[in-house]
Homo-oligomer: A and B are copies of this chain.
Amino acid sequence: MNKVVSGADEAIRDIEDGMTLMLGGFGLCGIPENCIAALVRKGVKNLTCISNNAGVDDFGIGLMLKTRQVKKMISSYVGENAEFERQLLSGELEVELIPQGTLATRCLAAAYGMPAVFVRAGVGTEVAEGKEVRNFDGVDYLLEHAFNAPFSIVKAWKADTHGNLVFRKTTRNFNQPMAMAGKIVIAEVEELVPAGALDPDQIHVPGIYVHRVFKGENYEKRIEQRTVRAKS
């Protein structure tokens, strides 16, 4: 059950032009920095990226926007990015905006083999346009479909060689459901340990969901909003 690959380039070797990728992270927190760099190196184009955010101008998915590798973003919030705005207004980039909980739940649906789920978010808004509405016990819900992406790329804190993953603090975010949702799941981690080194009660994503893991390098972990308080 050895899921270990040599690094980001090997991990993304079969990602091709026009594919749909799920990318974990929330803002710049817990993003797969090494794989994004490798995708930029490889130069694959016309990608559809399912990711809660689109990075900033010079970090995260922003790096792939700069090189015009992204055809479409499926996200809940895409502020903080001037290049993004430029491409969107010029029509170079398509954007599909989805409520954040719906985005997460469509990952969960894929992870748990549910073809579609009913959610209340967006009922009565433009998000509901063209979608089936169904009433349960007096409340309207939208039918939302599971994502069906060939690849998920996530960042975890630790993995063992079987691909069992553990996340740290708020980096779990979309990384956990996406790590269970893609047909092929790639996880880059800060620490790679032998099978048996992780507490079996404390694994966030079982290795059965994960296909390739590698120890990432040179994590920058950029902070988007550095807020502090004075020492009193």
Which residues of B have CB within 8 Å of A118? Answer: 114-116
Instruction: Choose among B105, B139, B167, B201 the residue that contacts A168 (Cβ–Cβ < 8 A).
Output: B201
Please report the C-alpha to C-alpha distance between residue A172 and residue B200 in the assembled complex, in whole angstroms.
12
A119 at the interface (CB under 8 A from B): yes
Which residues of B have CB within 8 Å of A108? Answer: 112
Least CB distance, A114 to chain B, in whole angstroms: 6
Are the C-beta atoms of A201 and B167 separated by less than 8 Å?
yes
* Complex copy number for this chain: 2
Instruction: Choose among B105, B112, B136, B145 the residue that contacts A116 (Cβ–Cβ < 8 A).
Output: B136
* Interface residues contributed by chain A, number (CB under 8 Å): 25
Which residues of B have CB within 8 Å of A145? Answer: 136
A141 at the interface (CB under 8 A from B): yes
Which residues of B have CB within 8 Å of A201? Answer: 166-169, 172, 202
Smallest CB-CB separation from A157: which chain B residue?
Answer: B201
A12 at the interface (CB under 8 A from B): no
Please report the C-alpha to C-alpha distance between residue A111 and residue B108 in the assembled complex, in whole angstroms.
13
A126 at the interface (CB under 8 A from B): no
Smallest CB-CB separation from A136: which chain B residue?
Answer: B115
Residue positions of A touching B, CB distance < 8 A: 105, 108, 112-120, 136-137, 139, 141, 145, 166-169, 172, 199-202
Give 11 CB contacts A-B under 8 Å: A105-B114, A108-B112, A114-B118, A115-B136, A115-B137, A115-B139, A115-B141, A117-B117, A169-B200, A169-B201, A201-B202
